A = this chain, B = another copy of it.
Amino acid sequence: MVKTQGVKAVPARGRGRPRGQSGTREAIVTEARRQFSELGYGRTTLRGIAREAGVDPRLLLHYFGSKQDLFKASVELPMEPEHVIDVVFGSGVDGVPGNAARLMLSVLDDAETRRPMQALLRAAVTEPEAAALIRQVLTERLLLPIAQRVGGKRPELRASLLASQVVGLLLVRHVVGIEPLAAASRDDLERALVPVFEHYLRGDWLPE
């Protein structure tokens, strides 16, 4: 509850040097990230973020336009999409399903990298206006580029099937915690999931 500092547009941190524009923006995003993940999308307000970040609420609108845009800016992907592509395609196209499944498992098993995805999922389920975001972030930025580069028919459909398995796993293993999936070893899940990733990405199941 850092109620302090009136509403001075770009407040100084204590009495020190005032933050520059990018410092203010960064402070807003950091605070937004914290509140979205702790309170969920619905209970987070621009006013509350502004207060805790110690900035004028109008600055949030100035920088981000809307709550939804601020949410989008605050979603961290565990890694940059370009880097994901490098890792996933590192051993050629045959290795893609295995690399993608292993990368997903390691991202979801680490609480730190899982958190933004979890926040996104909660928001998507409870707030219709936030639902489009999971699509942009998970499907368009991550899975579709993979499916497109793998090649084959209808990469969008393949990517969204993959998305359905990824969010299903996140939900059942980490959010709801259904046993024994919640406690299953990474090795067992890899055995279970790699063939499914292979099938969705490269399987020959689509009609001519």
Contact = CB atoms under 8 A, between A and B. Distances in A.
Interface stretch (A26-34, A62-70, A198-206): A198-206
Give how many copies assemble into the complex: 2
A125 B160 contact: no
Nearest to A207: B191
Contact of A125 (B125, B135, B180, B206): B125
Contacts of A205: 191-192, 195
Contacts of A195: 199, 203, 205
Main secondary structure of the interface of A (DSSP, over half): helix
A40 interface: yes
Contacts of A165: 164-165, 168, 196
B181 A160 contact: yes
Nearest to A130: B176
Q: Which 6 A-B pairs have the closest CB atoms?
A: A168-B168, A160-B181, A164-B168, A164-B172, A131-B176, A125-B125
